[in-house]
Amino acid sequence: MQFNSTYNDLDRRHIIKLLASEGEEKKCLFKEAARVKKEHVGDIVYFRGLIEFSNLCHKNCLYCGIRSGNRKVVRYDLTDEEIIDSARYAFDNRYGSIVLQSGELESNAFTKRIDSLLKKINSLTHGGLRITLSCGEQEEDVYRQWFESGAQRYLLRIETSNPGLYSRLHPNDRKHSFNRRVDCLNNLKKIGYQAGTGVMIGLPFQTTADLADDLLFMQQNDIVMIGMGPYLEHTDTPLYKYRSLLLPREKRFDLTLKMIAVLRIIMKDINIAATTAMQAIDKLGREKAIMVGANVIMPNITPGSYRDDYLLYDGKPCIDENPEDCKTCLEARIAIAGNEIAYGEWGDSAHYSH
């Protein structure tokens, strides 16, 4: 297959073909993605310290281990002090950026709490950390308030760009509306956030054409940060009953690598994460992602004792480790992948023009 300048605008049929590629054709795809990465963003990896500060969630997504309906989960909520200590760890270790992630809650108390945390972290670090929020769907004025209090980035995965598939993965109620999720993403962009999204790969009922549409959705919406990972079944979720429909785990992993590679080629200068879910399948998963186009890693800096209660899927790595273990481990892994960690840099996407 030829790679030339028209590659910016790969059409849907071409993308589907690349996602199905094997052998020489697949090798060629990975090689081209690595070349584009080197040319446009460099062989560099940015760190985002991930703080999974609470597994409380009022939603009930059918695939997720911490859905509200899963009574087996031990619920936790870090204290403000623990969150701030984690942010300080990231700052002291020159991570440049943190992600505050939780289940989805919408309430005045939650809005105020995040607002006050943002102010405290920004004052503690003299604005030296880029703060990303990953706290789900919220009203526009809530997003605006948080932006004004110092959050610059927001991650909200669309999960799948196919509304029909979305409705099979979520309860059929107003709390789980595809249209609201799209509206939220649009509001985030409008307010001025660097908006991130992403999808799960290898879901039951998902086709290669759906995945091609996911990539086109990201392109059409001019998204600047992407986190995509393989879908991994969780025993205590309703979607588990469809596990016989799934591709083998290695195939889901391989498909994720191809998605990253195609995305790098069609959106050359955005930030693409090598997600933890990739490492749940393949011990070298994140390194492999970096080699085919990813340029962001989110080292887990959640205090060790809470980690085994944030299990979105079975087999999540790093649950017995602490922040320092993950740092040392990732430094070695990134070196293996022939990349350099950009310590002390914010790592804004070159694509973000505000």
Binding site for ligand 5AD (CB under 6 A): 63-64, 157, 159, 200, 229, 231-232, 234, 277, 312-313
Q: Which of 325, 342, 345, 351 binds ligand FES (CB under 6 A)?
A: 325
Q: Which residues, 6+ apart, have CB-to-CB distance to 82 below 8 Å?
A: 53, 303
- Choice between 157 and 307, CB closer to ligand 5AD: 157
Q: For residue 20, what are the β-bridge partners?
A: none
Q: Which residues, 6+ apart, have CB-to-CB distance to 186 below 8 Å?
A: 221
Using CB under 6 A as the binding rule, whether residue 181 contacts ligand SF4 is answered as no
- Choice between 64 and 90, CB closer to ligand SF4: 64
Write the binding mask 248 to 287 for ligand FES: x where contact by CB under 6 A, - elsewhere. Answer: ----------------------------------------
Report in angstroms how near the CB of residue 120 gets to ligand 5AD at its nearest.
24
Q: How far is CA 318 from CA 257, 301, 327, in A?
A: 21, 10, 11
Report in angstroms how near the CB of residue 305 gets to ligand 5AD at its nearest.
21
66 binds, among ligand 5AD, ligand SF4, ligand FES, none (CB under 5 to 8 A by kind): ligand SF4
- Choice between 68 and 122, CB closer to ligand SF4: 68
Q: Which of 37, 48, 67, 288 binds ligand SF4 (CB under 6 A)?
A: 67
- Choice between 29 and 294, CB closer to ligand 5AD: 294
Question: Rounded to the nearest 5°, which phi and psi values hold at 44?
Answer: -125, 145
Q: Which of 49, 96, 136, 230 binds ligand SF4 (CB under 6 A)?
A: 136
The length of the chain in residues reads: 354
Residue numbers 30-59 binding ligand SF4 by CB under 6 A? 57, 59
Report in angstroms how near the CB of residue 185 gets to ligand SF4 at its nearest.
15
Q: How far is CA 86 from CA 41, 76, 222, 299, 314, in A?
A: 28, 16, 31, 12, 25
Report in angstroms how near the CB of residue 260 gets to ligand SF4 at its nearest.
21
Report in angstroms how near the CB of residue 279 gets to ligand FES at its nearest.
7
Instruction: Note whether 45 and 296 are within 8 A (CB).
Output: yes
- Choice between 96 and 136, CB closer to ligand 5AD: 136
Integer Cα distance of 79 and 116 in angstroms = 13
* Residue 228 φ/ψ region, left for φ over 0, alpha for ψ in the -120 to 50 degree band, beta for the rest: beta
Integer Cα distance of 164 and 4 in angstroms = 34
Q: Which of 18, 29, 51, 64 binds ligand SF4 (CB under 6 A)?
A: 64
Instruction: Note whether 292 and 260 are within 8 A (CB).
Output: yes
Report in angstroms how near the CB of residue 329 gets to ligand FES at its nearest.
3
- Choice between 106 and 325, CB closer to ligand FES: 325
Using CB under 6 A as the binding rule, whether residue 61 contacts ligand SF4 is answered as yes
Report in angstroms how near the CB of residue 42 gets to ligand 5AD at its nearest.
27
CB-neighbour burial class of residue 17 (10 A; exposed 0-12, middle 13-18, buried 19+): middle
Number of neighbouring beta carbons within 10 Å of residue 208: 15
Element (H, E) at 154: strand 153-155
Integer Cα distance of 238 and 58 in angstroms = 16
Helices (H), the chain: 12-19, 23-40, 80-92, 108-124, 140-148, 163-169, 178-191, 208-220, 249-266, 276-281, 285-291, 323-336
Report in angstroms how near the CB of residue 66 gets to ligand 5AD at its nearest.
8
3-state secondary structure at position 73: coil
The residue ranges that bind ligand SF4 (CB under 6 A) are: 57, 59, 61, 64, 66-67, 103-104, 136
Residues that bind ligand FES in the complex, under the rule CB under 6 A:
300, 318, 321, 325-326, 329-330
